[in-house]
Structure 1
């Protein structure tokens, strides 16, 4: 979606969507359990009386079907809208970062600055980014499927062999965030951690030139 703004904080997007699902779940569950309780009390067996058989309630059943259809359409529409927002790619990225995932580490490259950060078994890699700046990511895997995941941002993208995954992010708060591989990728999958360190722009410029 070229021309859109990069997503700054995907947490708010998914939290809003989850709230809709949560409240609909509560309402529907309340109605279902209420009707079951009503049926248990209202139609409990009395003496030797037997049920009369099936009664048709065409209007009530039609309303029920329409309500379910409306709920399904609403949830699907909101879900796809949220996905469109988180998949948005800005027209111009301020910083380019190439991600290479491999068993069982990460490599972060800054092609505009000729700088590379490589993780090892003894060293957890740290991706340094400028605050408030659109970052254009280009990810790929060197072997199996991995998944670039920053829990604090509620953002995850799978990285595939022989296929590039492009996405934008913007971090508006200075700080250090843990990142992980969210796709089981072998024996040392749990070792695939990394850090995202968001710094002021002048500090980022000093870092890439160091």
Structure 2
């Protein structure tokens, strides 16, 4: 049996915090970006009872999108450390039945440990994928593609490369949660209702 190498499944990206989501969407479209999709995502992070995946900096995620599609994703650290970009080995497949997939994960010894929601607008732009995301604690632009294409896209959009974010959304949430003493771990819009996150707490 042939196995594909991790190098074939590298996810390379950076994020930027966005002050005005509508203005950024307009900037992308004016610069030649093409709208691909717009919708809501509900993500569930899974782990075993010992938290082994988190300890190994791995992510097992079951995502359900507003259009009805579900995805199972596994992310693990790359073989070589990277300081300029956020890089993970990502393996992903479309799931026809999210409830049945959840039952399989539970049968394998995993359990849901965290929910996180986002509103996501996806664009194709200059050889990269742009994800304009609204999280319950802030707005961000994610640029995914090859390294040089990512840098070029950031430059074309007038983004300050030195302000790029290499953390994932759950890592950013943990910083906000710790700073604000939030009593919950699920990153949902309902949990953040009435809570204002100061800009100083975000990168």
TM-score bracket for this pair, using the shorter chain length = under 0.3
Larger radius of gyration: 1
Per residue, is there more strand in 1 or in 2?
Answer: 2
TM-score, normalisation: structure 1: 0.22
Say which structure, 1 or 2, has more relative contact order (CA 8 Å, 6+ apart).
2
TM-score, normalisation: structure 2: 0.23
